[in-house]
């Protein structure tokens, strides 16, 4: 078994441990924030962590009403612009906590009047040392270059932060996530059979929207780095504004279709793709979406859209790892990549 697959299977335990060890700290920090509510939240990240931050943006805006922005680190590192970040919360998201540009952005943010927060898997990292507060992912060391358990750990931290800042925390059943993650792992044998069909796939599109838009980015990056597939990623809305024109008969389109407000649009997109003759692979618990697809990956337990991103990304992670094996590739050591990438 590859390291990537092994680490995918560790996710239910990592999620459970992170809830147990970080929830109270996050609640305490959030209580202080509520007393001096930030006017803005800014998220700083790269790579898979940037995808997790994209989820955080949607989740925090939905649950708190506070505007959330994704930072452009180059503004701080290359152009050295001082921003007015008084009354802002700036959150750095990094698996290793050693991203140079992320840490420089956090340092600049602190000098500009912001409260800074680190979300990382490494307690002794530079990010943890320089930030006002640190929330840890308790995933253990991640050895595969392709991030899996740290990505879902980052999503979980955003869940915990959003619940602590929300006015309706009881509506967020975060304690269900370890079980939901474990249920998704049961799809492995089905996916292992399915990937053989795509062993020669060279390009595809991944579509998600709202809370699962981040998963479209994350699944695409996993296909690119482990399988060397050119994977474009789009929101369900943006895809209709031009990119759908590249799809013809047999073109693979992967779609995240959870229950909730985005489902109607995804079913309409599936109907359009069926007319074109596209090969649609849907990750969903919803019978109507699965029935409309060329092939479906049925999520075992139906859950709210709010909780869906973690159980929905796990089948996609397995798909990428198993497809790499079907292509004769090692998902653990992608060419031209290393575990920690430092940019400025």
Lowest-confidence region among 68-77, 222-231, 307-316: 68-77
Distance, CA of 32 to chain centre: 27
Dump pLDDT digits (tens) for 240-285: 888 888 999 999 999 999 999 999 999 999 999 999 999 999 999 9
CA angle in degrees (0–180, nearest 5) for 177-265-296? 55
Dump pLDDT digits (tens) for 17-48: 999 999 999 999 999 988 889 999 999 999 99
Lowest-confidence region among 34-48, 102-116, 129-143, 163-177: 163-177
- The residue-averaged pLDDT of 313-340 equals 86
Residue for token digits 């050119």?
230
Q: What secondary structure letter does DSSP report for 248?
A: -
Ramachandran angles phi, psi of 112, nearest 5°: -90, 10
Whether 60 contacts 162, CB under 8 Å: yes
**pLDDT at position 338:** 55
Per-residue CA distances from 89 to 112, 131, 212, 236 (Å): 11, 11, 24, 30
pLDDT value at 340 more than 60: no
**pLDDT at position 100:** 93
Q: Which has the higher per-residue pLDDT, 130 or 172?
A: 130
């Amino acid at each position: 078994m590859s390291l990537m697959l092994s680490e995918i299977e560790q996710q239910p335990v990592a999620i459970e441990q992170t809830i147990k060890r970080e929830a109270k700290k996050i609640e305490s920090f959030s209580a202080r924030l509520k007393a001096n509510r930030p006017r803005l939240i800014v998220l700083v990240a790269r790579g898979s962590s940037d995808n997790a931050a994209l989820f955080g943006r949607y989740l925090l805006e939905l649950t708190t009403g506070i505007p959330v922005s994704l930072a452009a680190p180059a503004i701080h590192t290359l152009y050295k612009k001082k921003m007015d970040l008084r009354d802002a919360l700036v959150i750095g998201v990094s698996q290793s906590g050693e991203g140079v540009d992320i840490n420089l952005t956090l340092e600049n943010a602190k000098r500009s009047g912001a409260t800074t927060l680190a979300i990382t898997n490494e307690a002794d990292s530079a990010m943890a040392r320089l930030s006002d507060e640190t929330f840890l992912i308790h995933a253990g060391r991640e050895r595969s270059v392709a991030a899996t358990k740290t990505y879902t750990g980052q999503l979980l931290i955003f869940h915990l932060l959003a619940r602590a800042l929300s006015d309706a925390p009881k509506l967020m059943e975060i304690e269900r996530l370890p079980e939901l993650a474990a249920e998704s792992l049961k799809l492995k044998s089905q996916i292992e059979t399915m990937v053989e069909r795509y062993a020669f796939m060279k390009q595809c599109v991944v579509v998600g929207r709202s809370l699962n838009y981040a998963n479209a980015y994350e699944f695409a990056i996993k296909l690119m780095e482990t399988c060397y597939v050119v994977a474009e990623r789009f929101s369900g809305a943006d895809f209709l504004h031009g990119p759908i024109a590249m799809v013809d008969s047999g073109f693979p389109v992967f779609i995240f279709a959870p229950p909730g407000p985005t489902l109607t649009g995804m079913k309409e997109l599936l109907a359009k793709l069926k007319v074109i003759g596209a090969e649609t692979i849907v990750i969903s618990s919803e019978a109507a979406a699965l029935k409309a697809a060329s092939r479906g990956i049925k999520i075992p337990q139906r859950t709210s859209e709010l909780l869906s991103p973690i159980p929905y990304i796990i089948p996609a992670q397995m798909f990428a790892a198993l497809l790499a094996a079907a292509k004769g590739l090692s998902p653990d050591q992608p060419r031209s990549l290393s575990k920690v990438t430092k940019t400025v």
